Chains A and B, each alone.
Chain A
Amino acid sequence: MLEKRLFRKPKNELEHQENGRQNQPSVPDDLYLSCPECKQTMLKSDMEDNGFVCPKCDYHFKIVARQRIALLTDPNSFHEIDAELSPSNLLNFPGYDEKLVKAQQESGELEGVICGTAAIGGYPVALFVMDPGFILGSMGTIVGEKITRLFEYAAAHQLPVIGYTVSGGARMQEGILSLMQMAKTSGAVKLHSDAGLLYVTVLTNPTTGGVTASFGMEGDIILAEPKALVAFAGPRVIEQTIRQKLPSGFQRAEFLLEKGFVDAIVHRNEQKQYLTTLLKLHQKGAM
């Protein structure tokens, strides 16, 4: 303790002035931001107007589910399904109630996935979009239930499913029941698939664990956003297991493309057009 004090820089009266500059021009904190990839500073509104993509380096920022739906679907075409389903603390897991309330307040959503029907480029689809902010996009029983219902609905109404994933994996506060959602959703995907219907997944940063190992990797066509981390076990878990540093770019979308696990990487601002073409090519009969 004593040594520390010895080396402390003496306080400079002038430095205190910094805090007192009240009448200096200033900008609100959230007007500008810097890109985590290229470190460039930009107007937040410029980034948002560019589909939440860095205008300088194409870094894809996190985007909440509602905004993604607005960007992707035709105006006023989205109709939400099962919006009222809300999670509960099934196992009385300590701290989970508080965590849920906080996530709901911060996101304004009841759960971490939004489901509904919409039109993309004029083609009707069933759509689910996971939310990165809701307990890290984890899959609990209600996430599993909503996605299962969507596939069942789509199968009954002969609709293709477009699914956007972002997830830290199964939600451990719901224990084995969240694990079971992997099987449940996979069953629903199979039901939909056996009806001869199209399912397209778009893997976004990050998609890991139980979501990768279930409906994330079960699409007929699997797309990914540039540089999205897509993994079963996340990089930290692997580094702890094998006790060595992972090569750069490991488990990124480009790596998965090279290894044969995604069909294509599609820039966020080109996804609507890409999906429109995809849907068009899956219409029954001659074009």
Chain B
Amino acid sequence: MAANLSFNASLNTVRESYESMKEKVQPYARVLAARAKNRPTSQSFIANLTDDFLEFHGDRRFGDDGAIIAGIARINDLPVTVIGIEKGITLQESIKRNFGAAHPEGYRKALRLMKQAEKFNRPVLCIVDTSGAYCGIGAEERGQGQAIAENLMEMMTLKTPVISLLIGEGGSGGALALAVADQVWMMENSVYSVISPEGCASILWKDSQKMQEAAEHLKLTAQDLFEMGVVERVIPESSAKEFDKVYALLKTMLYDSFQSAMQKPTDELVAKRYQRFRQMGIN
């Protein structure tokens, strides 16, 4: 296992694989890969990256949202809070999890556990995989916009390290609500976008079939976003069969990053997080 890879070695692997990725796969092919049915979901990541995971439920205000799995666990000897958007594996489970489209109570559960992480000085790992926050009557009635807004605001000054990992789809505000972090990492075949390519094509060109073109222009692949400085790392995936190796590398990277972030004064951490987003979109 590669669990004992040194931090530098793992970083080099990331760089090398990033170079090889540069010969472009079509962006829309990445979108399809990110949505693929057999793709590991948050549960697999939690199972493979952490031990002793205890899931906690509910937002203490309205209910429990199955689209978000949250709790505490450890990465090696480090206790962490883990929050993942879960699409579900079987159809039955996916229905229970609303296909990974969270309601306001999901985002409020996430924030509750982040505040708890702050209190107990635990770093937070967010795992993002959603086509977007749910668009429905209940979600609107209970303030989907307000819930996301509050997460953005509170995460910005959360006094504990936060890393967000995008593992599949990063759909707009619903993804960002768990991605105001010190570092944002993306799996090689994940995407992150302000709107789905289909939505973009249908609004701009009244033709949802132009999604391939839209995917290209939106710059939503991990590689594009890395080049733009929107994400810090792209995690190479190799083949699905070898996902064990990916987990091992990822676990080392997370452990090392959290350990070094825990050494820093929280004020510095929070100031850097502010700057991370502050400089986005300035020429």
Contact surface of A with B, Cβ cutoff 8 Å: 88, 90-95, 140-142, 144-145, 148, 170, 172-184, 186-191, 193-194, 209-210, 212-218, 230-233, 237-238, 241-242, 246, 250-251, 259-261
B274: interface (CB < 8 Å):
yes
Q: Tell me the minimal C-beta distance from B233 to chain A in angstroms.
A: 16
Other than the known A186-B152, A187-B153, what 20 A-B pairs have Cβ atoms closer than 8 Å?
Answer: A90-B283, A141-B282, A170-B173, A170-B194, A176-B225, A177-B230, A177-B281, A179-B176, A183-B179, A186-B153, A186-B156, A187-B273, A190-B157, A210-B172, A212-B146, A230-B145, A233-B133, A242-B136, A246-B137, A251-B140
CB–CB A238/B180 < 8 A: no
A90 to B230 CA separation, bound complex (whole angstroms): 14
Q: Which residues of B contact A259 (CB under 8 A)?
A: 141-143
The residue that A187 contacts in the complex, of B142, B193, B195, B274, with Cβ under 8 A, is: B274
The residue that B145 contacts in the complex, of A90, A142, A148, A213, with Cβ under 8 A, is: A213
Q: Which residues of B contact A141 (CB under 8 A)?
A: 280-282
Interface-central residue, B142, B176, B225, by most chain A CB under 10 Å: B176
In the complex, identify which listed stretch (B17-25, B81-89, B213-221) lies at the interface while the others stay far away: B213-221
Interface flags for B142-162 (1: CB within 8 Å of A; 0: not) read 111110111011101100000
A145 to B282 CA separation, bound complex (whole angstroms): 8
A64 to B152 CA separation, bound complex (whole angstroms): 29
Q: Which residues of A contact B218 (CB under 8 A)?
A: 91, 172, 175-176
Return 30 A-B CB contacts under 8 Å, by A number. Answer: A92-B217, A95-B204, A145-B281, A172-B195, A172-B218, A175-B218, A176-B220, A179-B176, A179-B194, A181-B280, A184-B277, A184-B280, A184-B281, A190-B156, A210-B172, A210-B194, A212-B146, A213-B152, A215-B149, A216-B149, A217-B145, A218-B153, A232-B135, A232-B140, A232-B148, A233-B133, A237-B135, A238-B137, A241-B136, A246-B137
CB–CB B135/A233 < 8 A: yes
Q: Which residues of A contact B217 (CB under 8 A)?
A: 91-94, 175
B200: interface (CB < 8 Å):
yes
CB–CB A187/B156 < 8 A: yes
- Nearest CB to that of A194 among chain B residues? B157
Known pairs A178-B194, A180-B230, A184-B281; A238 contacts B135 (CB<8 A):
yes
Q: Which residues of A contact B241 (CB under 8 A)?
A: none
Contact surface of B with A, Cβ cutoff 8 Å: 133, 135-137, 139-146, 148-150, 152-154, 156-157, 172-173, 176-177, 179-180, 192-195, 200, 203-204, 217-220, 225, 228, 230, 273-274, 277-278, 280-283
- Nearest CB to that of B152 among chain A residues? A186
Q: Which residues of B contact A90 (CB under 8 A)?
A: 281, 283
Known pairs A232-B140, A250-B137; A172 contacts B157 (CB<8 A):
no
Q: Which residues of B contact A194 (CB under 8 A)?
A: 157
CB–CB A212/B176 < 8 A: no
A251 to B142 CA separation, bound complex (whole angstroms): 11
Q: Tell me the minimal C-beta distance from B122 to chain A in angstroms.
A: 21
CB–CB B176/A218 < 8 A: no
Q: Which residues of B contact A140 (CB under 8 A)?
A: 281
- Nearest CB to that of B104 among chain A residues? A232
Q: Which residues of B contact A217 (CB under 8 A)?
A: 143, 145-146, 149-150
Q: Which residues of B contact A94 (CB under 8 A)?
A: 217
CB–CB B230/A176 < 8 A: yes
Q: Which residues of B contact A91 (CB under 8 A)?
A: 217-219
Known pairs A91-B217, A186-B156, A216-B149; A172 contacts B203 (CB<8 A):
yes
Known pairs A170-B194, A186-B180, A212-B149; A180 contacts B280 (CB<8 A):
yes
A178 to B280 CA separation, bound complex (whole angstroms): 9
Q: Tell me the minimal C-beta distance from A193 to chain B in angstroms.
A: 8
Closest 9 CB pairs between A and B? Answer: A141-B281, A212-B145, A233-B135, A186-B152, A232-B145, A213-B148, A232-B144, A217-B149, A180-B280
Q: Which residues of A contact B277 (CB under 8 A)?
A: 180, 183-184, 187
The residue that B173 contacts in the complex, of A184, A209, A215, with Cβ under 8 A, is: A209
- Nearest CB to that of A212 among chain B residues? B145
- Nearest CB to that of A186 among chain B residues? B152
Q: Which residues of B contact A174 (CB under 8 A)?
A: 194, 281
A242 to B282 CA separation, bound complex (whole angstroms): 38
CB–CB B140/A183 < 8 A: no
Q: Tell me the minimal C-beta distance from B89 to chain A in angstroms.
A: 23
Q: Which residues of B contact A172 (CB under 8 A)?
A: 194-195, 200, 203-204, 218
A90 to B281 CA separation, bound complex (whole angstroms): 8
Q: Which residues of A contact B230 (CB under 8 A)?
A: 176-177, 180
- Nearest CB to that of A214 among chain B residues? B149
Known pairs A183-B277, A186-B156, A238-B137; A213 contacts B173 (CB<8 A):
yes
CB–CB A144/B281 < 8 A: yes
Interface-central residue, B152, B156, B220, by most chain A CB under 10 Å: B152
- Nearest CB to that of A177 among chain B residues? B281
Q: Tell me the minimal C-beta distance from A263 to chain B in angstroms.
A: 12
Q: Tell me the minimal C-beta distance from A9 to chain B in angstroms.
A: 33
Q: Which residues of B contact A193 (CB under 8 A)?
A: 153
Q: Which residues of B contact A181 (CB under 8 A)?
A: 280-281
